[in-house]
Amino acid sequence: MAKVISNFARRTRTLMNAPVLACKAGSVTCSKNWRLNSSFVGADAEGVNPLHPKILITGSLGQLGTGLARELRQKYGRNNVIMSDIIKPSKEVKESGPYLFADILEFKALQEMIVTHDIDWIIHFSALLSAVGENNVPLAMRVNIEGLHNVLELARQYRLKLFVPSTIGAFGPDSPRNPTPDMCIQRPRTIYGVSKVHAELMGEYYFHKYGLDFRSLRFPGVISADTHAGGGTTDYAVAIFHEALRTGTFNCYLRPDTRMPMMYITDCLKSVAQFMEVPDSDMKLRTYNVTAMSFTPEELAEEVKKYVPNFTITYNPDGRQQIADSWPEVFDDHNARADWGWKHEHDLQAMCKIIFDAITPMYR
């Protein structure tokens, strides 16, 4: 009990020292008293129970968030993972566990949420992806850059663990493209990429300056069986499966030989869940590349033909071609594999089989 009280006192003191939080001291104390009265067995130095951290996912109604919430709820308990976004959740989402409205640009409301719900970790998914970002630069700057500043400050003030995904889009035409290592020139030419390099650097700065437990993985294009994709350059590899079954044809906005790194969604979600638990001592970097495969639209189309033999594909490159041409072709993730055992499960063939098995019945 003495350890519990001293942890509690230390955490409360830290919070009270943050000037912006002074007015919240009452609710902080109240929230931590709840912790005192509840099961606190096995809490670490920050007072977080490593078996049941309370996790907030921002932007959780996008392509990745719902699946990650499912994965983390299985691990840490349904009520310990709070989904949030600015859009209305479906009935299934509402029934699956806690969901809250959270605009990443409203700092005070986020503070209140962290305190009221006693959050330990933030998984920060809110973002505008590459193609939509190019179409609305001012909004991308607000959501991707101001939003990041807000979560960094929240994580610093409340001593939270923070995960912010980065992307192959954080590299640019001056980076080596085949393969692209963790450490190399990063001069992206999209606002999305610029905001992600900014996130990597700011997170690492907060780590060195304040000891913030900042973690980031650079994902390749993530492919899932559902049609939702947030407006990225890699989205063709999500849309193609449904179009193939629905119409037998697909009009691709990239050239047939445009090679990009990709990953099946379950591998992506597994990488996040695994990475959040990697001990500090095993992490030589705070930002790691992770990937599973690399393919071109032409190669994907060949695979699709195995399931839809009459499938045809046409190519009409648009503005996304220029983005893709500046991104990595093959991602080098050997550091993640060596330092903390990252390993993908699905290659192109395995992924296509899972997706077609899942969605073909919908089109019969």
Ligand X SMILES: CC(=O)[C@H](N)C(=O)O
Name the site residues for ligand NAI (rule: CB under 6 A).
58-59, 61-65, 85-87, 102-105, 125-127, 129, 143, 165, 167, 219, 221-222, 230, 232, 234
167 part of the interface to ligand X, by CB under 6 A: yes
143 part of the interface to ligand X, by CB under 6 A: no
Which is catalytic among the residues 76, 99, 158, 192?
192
Q: Which of 89, 188, 232, 328 binds ligand X (CB under 6 A)?
A: 232
Q: How far apart are CA 264 and CA 239, in angstroms?
A: 14
152: nearest Cα among 167, 138, 163: 163
Which of the ranges 96-104, 149-157, 229-237, 263-271 carries the binding residues for ligand X, by CB under 6 A?
A: 229-237
Task: Spell out, one character per residue from 181 to 210, where the chain touches ligand X: x when CB under 6 A holds, - when not.
Answer: -----------x------------------
- CB-wise, 15 or 293, nearer to ligand X? 293
224 part of the interface to ligand X, by CB under 6 A: no
- CB-wise, 47 or 172, nearer to ligand X? 172
- CB-wise, 134 or 243, nearer to ligand X? 134
- From the list ligand NAI, ligand X, none, pick the one residue 362 interacts with, judged by a Cβ distance below 5 to 8 Å according to partner type: none
Q: Is 265 helix (H, G, I), strand (E, B) or coil?
A: helix
297 part of the interface to ligand X, by CB under 6 A: no
48: which residues sit within 8 A by CB, 6+ positions away? Answer: 120, 161
144 part of the interface to ligand X, by CB under 6 A: no
Q: Which of 83, 115, 122, 129 binds ligand X (CB under 6 A)?
A: 129
Tokens of 72: 């983390």
Shortest distance, CB of residue 353 to ligand NAI, whole angstroms? 20
Helices (H), the chain: 2-17, 25-37, 65-76, 91-96, 107-116, 130-135, 137-140, 147-158, 191-210, 236-247, 265-276, 297-305, 319-325, 334-340, 348-359
168: nearest Cα among 228, 122, 226, 234: 234
Which of the ranges 37-45, 69-77, 109-117, 162-170 carries the binding residues for ligand X, by CB under 6 A?
A: 162-170
> What number of residues does the chain have?
364
Q: Which of 56, 143, 151, 168 binds ligand X (CB under 6 A)?
A: 168
> Token pair 């399931």 is at which residue?
307
**Residue 192 is among the residues annotated as catalytic for this protein:** yes
- CB-wise, 15 or 168, nearer to ligand NAI? 168
- CB-wise, 192 or 295, nearer to ligand X? 192
- CB-wise, 43 or 355, nearer to ligand NAI? 355
Shortest distance, CB of residue 336 to ligand X, whole angstroms? 17
Tokens of 68: 């990650």
Across the beta sheet with 221-223, the strand order is: 221-223, 260-264, 293-295
Q: Which of 233, 258, 289, 335 binds ligand X (CB under 6 A)?
A: 233
221 part of the interface to ligand X, by CB under 6 A: yes
Residue 20 to residues 9, 24, 157, 212, Cα–Cα distance (Å): 19, 8, 9, 18
Cα of first residue to Cα of last residue in the chain, in angstroms, is: 61
Q: How far apart are CA 144 and CA 134, in angstroms?
A: 12
Q: How far apart are CA 179 and CA 163, in angstroms?
A: 25
Residues recognised as catalytic:
192
Sites of contact with ligand X (CB under 6 A)? 129-130, 167-169, 192, 221, 232-234
